[in-house]
Amino acid sequence: MWLRLRQIALVGADLPATEAAICDVLGVEVCYRDPGVAYFGLENALFPVGNQILEVVAPTKEGTTAGRYLERRGGDGGYMVITQCDDHAPRKARVEALGVRVVHSFETPHFSNMQMHPKDTGGSFFEIDEVLAENAHAEDGPWEPAGDNWQAHKRTERVAGIVGAEIQADDPEAVARRWSEIAEIPLTASLTLPLENAEVRFVPCTDGRPEGLGGMTIRCNDRAAILGAAEANGLPIDGNTITLAGIRMELID
């Protein structure tokens, strides 16, 4: 069984402003807006980053889970690590056997979803989904949350893909072990969970914010253009790491 990083979700208070900054700095464009998230009091925008998806959700009313997450973490930032698997049934059985609560799940003819409770996983929302459509296992294959035609909106002049996610936690070793149990993938010595196309790293909280998805790594086709756009937008820059939408984005070639 394999597990692939397919989507990173961020949460922000001001979707239009965050969307504009992401498009301007990363050189990407919106591929889809999911009307279904209105049920949860949210609006969203999704952007292809290579063959993966970056999503931003924003609350549209009081009392949403995303809104409480914004308050708890002190502003915009990382929200969910969303993975794709090749066989959902044993993944669901594993989660049930470990006593991990599922906060949201759904089944369509072409998609199976399982979103786990962050209090049971630690660190962040962790989601495991399966595509059931034709060409499902291709790296640029269908991905229902991003709409029917997400591939047509790929812009790779600056970005090539998302190759890492960084979970910060009060006890990174314990959280790393928990994610490893769920994923059924051994950790490396550096508290890293190796997925098929990316890695999830577990680190201490060092930025004054509580545990959560604090960083991601983007493979770039034009890192200089991203850094230049980040500077023009007045974003924090530390070497080859920018902070955009409240999350650290490490830029690698």
Residues in CB range of 228: below 8 A, 6 or more apart: none
- Site of tokens 């600056």: 158
Please tell me the chain's helix, strand, coil percentages from 3-state DSSP, rounded to the nearest 5: 30, 40, 35
> What sign results for the dihedral spanned by CA atoms 147, 84, 178, 205?
negative
Phi, psi at 129, each rounded to 5° = -130, 160
pLDDT of residue 65: 87
pLDDT digits (tens, 9 = 90+) for 36-90: 999 999 999 999 999 999 999 999 998 888 999 899 899 999 999 999 999 999 9
- Which residues, listed in sequence order, are joined to residue 6 by a DSSP beta bridge? none
pLDDT of residue 69: 87
**Tokens, residue 193:** 């969970």
pLDDT of residue 47: 98
Enter the pTM of the model.
0.97
How far apart CA 174 and CA 100 sit, in angstroms, is 15
Contact 192, 163 (CB under 8 A): no
> What sign results for the dihedral spanned by CA atoms 42, 112, 1, 102?
positive
Looking at the chain, the whole-number percentage of residues with pLDDT higher than 90 is 96
- Residue 107 has a CB neighbour count (10 Å cut-off) of 12
Phi, psi at 22, each rounded to 5° = -60, -45
pLDDT of residue 140: 96
At residue 10, what is the residue type?
A: L
pLDDT of residue 171: 97
pLDDT of residue 203: 98
Helix (H, G, I), strand (E, B) or coil at 172: helix
Contact 44, 60 (CB under 8 A): no
pLDDT digits (tens, 9 = 90+) for 220-244: 999 999 999 999 999 999 999 999 9
Task: Find the helix or strand (DSSP H, E) in which 3 lies.
Answer: strand 3-11
Q: What is the CATH number of domain 3-252?
A: 3.10.180.10
Residues in CB range of 55: below 8 A, 6 or more apart: 7, 8, 9, 10, 44, 45, 46, 47, 80, 145
Check pLDDT > 90 for residue 162: yes
Mean pLDDT taken over the chain: 97
pLDDT of residue 28: 98
Residues in CB range of 185: below 8 A, 6 or more apart: 3, 193, 194, 195
pLDDT digits (tens, 9 = 90+) for 90-127: 999 999 999 999 999 999 999 999 999 999 999 999 99
Q: In what order do the strands lie in the sheet with 192-194?
A: 192-194, 199-204, 159-169, 212-220, 247-252, 241-244, 237-238
